[in-house]
């Protein structure tokens, strides 16, 4: 995608950073829980989330380095290194806390976690809406401009992958993956 942006002369344009972040970012962490709450298998969404988180420092290094607005390679490496440290600490802490406080979760525990996840998502959505509402009311064109960009980039790439994968695409469909991609499009549309 950076190549396409460079060919179009858009690396310095405000559109470059959100597109690159959309494509470099890992899956939204609530997607497995949301998938499970709908009664579907959360494993595909969880696998994508874990893989995306593990690969995030690698996928972020190139955009950090190539986007002129983010500085030289040394700053990109430093930012990526800090990101890797944060991921390692967060994941280690999560596993330790899970093992310490919830080594064998019961069905009741899992439902409580689902409820907490739903509550946190509501807080995030309300927080985002308070930031988005003035933009929709005062400059609706800007809001719908960014929403259209997020939609075209995210769903356009999904369509290309769907066409390229042929018969394999039917094996890869699942609510978790679709939910994950929809959430990313939704969140990226609020970048402006």
State the pTM of this model.
0.57
Measured between alpha carbons, how far is 111 from 102 in angstroms, rounded to an integer? 13
Q: What is the pLDDT of residues 31-76, one digit of tens each?
A: 777 777 778 787 777 777 777 777 777 777 777 777 766 677 787 7
Q: What is the pLDDT of residues 110-137, one digit of tens each?
A: 888 878 877 887 777 777 777 778 888 8
Q: Decide if pLDDT at 104 tops 50.
A: yes
pLDDT cut 70: percent of the chain above it: 78
pLDDT at 96: 93
Q: What are phi and psi of 105, to 5 degrees?
A: -70, 140
Measured between alpha carbons, how far is 136 from 127 in angstroms, rounded to an integer? 15
Contacts of 188 (CB under 8 A, 6+ apart): 18, 21, 22, 150, 153, 154
Burial 67-92 (b: 16+ CB within 10 A, else e): beeeeeeeebeebbeeeeeeeeeeee
Tokens 């080594």 locate to 103
Whether 151 contacts 73, CB under 8 Å: no
- The candidate with the shortest Cα–Cα distance to 23, out of 145, 153, 148, is 153
Tokens 């995306």 locate to 52
Measured between alpha carbons, how far is 111 from 146 in angstroms, rounded to an integer? 36
Measured between alpha carbons, how far is 179 from 28 in angstroms, rounded to an integer? 10
Q: Decide if pLDDT at 167 tops 70.
A: no
Q: Which residue did the predictor score with more confidence, 69 or 93?
A: 93
Number of H helices and E strands in the chain, helices first, is: 9, 0
Q: Decide if pLDDT at 25 tops 80.
A: no
């Amino acid at each position: 995608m950076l190549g396409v942006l460079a060919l179009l002369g858009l690396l310095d344009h405000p559109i470059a950073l959100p597109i690159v972040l959309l494509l470099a970012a890992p899956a939204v962490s609530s997607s497995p829980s949301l998938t499970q709450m709908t009664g579907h298998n959360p494993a595909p969404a969880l696998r994508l989330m874990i893989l995306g988180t593990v690969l995030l420092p690698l996928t972020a290094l190139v955009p950090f380095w190539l986007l002129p607005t983010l500085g030289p390679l040394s700053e990109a490496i430093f930012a990526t290194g800090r990101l890797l440290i944060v991921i390692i600490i967060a994941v280690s802490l999560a596993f330790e806390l899970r093992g310490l406080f919830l080594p064998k979760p019961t069905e009741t525990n899992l439902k409580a976690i689902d409820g907490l996840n739903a509550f946190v998502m509501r807080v995030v959505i309300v927080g985002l809406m308070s930031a988005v509402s003035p933009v929709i009311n005062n400059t609706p064109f800007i809001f719908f401009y960014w929403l259209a960009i997020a939609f075209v980039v995210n769903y356009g790439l999904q369509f290309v992958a769907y066409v390229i994968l042929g018969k394999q695409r039917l094996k890869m469909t699942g609510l978790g993956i679709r939910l994950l991609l929809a959430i990313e499009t939704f969140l990226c549309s609020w970048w402006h």
